[in-house]
Structure 1
Amino acid sequence: MSLAAKELFMTQPGVSQHIKNIEETLQVKLFDRLNRKLVPTSEAVHIFEEVTPILHQLERSLSTINQSEQSLTGTINFGMPIEFGNNVILPHLSTWAKSNTDVKFHINYDHAARQINQLLDGSLDFAITDSFTFPTQVEVENLAREEWILCASKEYAKDNRLNEVSTFKQMKELHYISYLENSPVIHQWFKHHKNKTFDLKSRARLMDVQGVARLILEGVGLGILSRHMVRENNLEDKIVIFEGSGVPLYNEINLVKLKGKTMSLTCQSFVEYLVQKLKK
């Protein structure tokens, strides 16, 4: 009894009381007192053999969790928009990953609407998304913004007698290349710059910025690109950019997380790094 009390950092009466409580709970006698010694009963031996491996496994699991929190390991699942993600987020990710070699990444490329659903069902830890009407279950932090511009190839502009200051009347009957059904981004541009709405002719729809840019350059129709994408791909001399109201239309880039969800230390560390870099 004295040895048990020492190992458990308890008093002997405390150990005796715990044994008594267990015996009352199980309604089984665990020890016999013989010649002033406690001798375990067969029931006590059986319980010891069953419980010991479980306690050892629990100890190993807790140790693993503790070590992973110190060394940053595991997999981070997050979503991001294709173009902004590839051009802005991935370079920062690469730098962070080189310093945290035990971390793996699973990246989802999709529109905010579908990524929000994945946040809600727990398949994504967080998402970097475009402007969107977010549900109340998520918390949103603005990180950056990119300017949206409407453009066409110089060939398409020439064939349709367009220039940088073409009017809405000249543009409303043309073909357009959309990202999503109902072309919300194009409609947003016309509402912002021309204060107009109309039934546009969507010639193609694809959820890929590089694909939209390719179709614009090939003269299929007008489309929306981000200014940083145009600049980084050296497209300025190949397209006509239509002027708007003078006030740029921005796509807000947001960090979106599920309210109340606890992030792993690894994920939290990466998010804090991204936020710091993107807000510079």
Structure 2
Amino acid sequence: MPRYALKIEYDGLPFAGWQAQAAHASVQGQIEAALARLDPGFAAGARIAAAGRTDAGVHAMGQVAHADLAADWEPFRLSQALNWHLKPDPIAITAAARVTEDFHARFSAVGRKYLFRLVARRAPVTHERGKVWQVLNPLDAEAMRAGAAHLIGKHDFTTFRSTMCQAASPVKSIDRIEITEIALPSGREYQFRLEARSFLHNQVRSIVGTLERVGAGSWHPDQVATALAARDRAACGPVCPPQGLYLMGAVYPEDPFDPARNAGGADQVFAD
């Protein structure tokens, strides 16, 4: 059966997360239902695999999944047909590509990157409601960067993972935490960009929630190092809400959506 990689964008608000659930709408479930209508060989109960299982309310700009289909689809036609069958759900297939049988959206990925958007302003957000986390007062971006520096590298992140996390080990390596401050007409936006091979459950939201406390002046930046060293979930700052979080892309040794680019010998590229 031909295998296809799908690049997926979605608004996570209407869904109970990526993973298919019997009683609630999910992104995975909606795409699988569309595939079943489109490709008779995609049997009922068949599953697609994704680079990351986003929680309820979390968005994606560059989720990657793979599916095994019976028909030999031209990739562009496959993406357009899927988009038709996904209406009116806020899910879009932005690219599709034929891949080899050994490609796996989750296990072939060597990195993930996330964006978290936080807006500080007094008035309620309107156009961005459900797309950002709002706080009332401006934050100290330099203090947050100083706190984030303690988290770069390989650490035991027990403090920053959910008690329900199923990962075999709490040890992870964070390659990048970049914090950008953007002036808005009526406030400020803070964008947190995090990159790692993989993340623990709720790790990004736990980190951003803790850094917000640093930016607000409630924590000293060095308290982030103390919390990390505690290896205790109780030492973590508050976990921020999901609506500001976006899965921006997955990293593969070769970009499944641009084979010609990788023919030149690029080592790693983002599928975003």
Please tell me the TM-score bracket, short chain as reference: under 0.3
Structure with greater helix percent: 1
Q: Which has the higher strand share?
A: 2
Q: What TM-score comes out, normalization by structure 2 length?
A: 0.24
Could you say which structure has the larger radius of gyration? 1
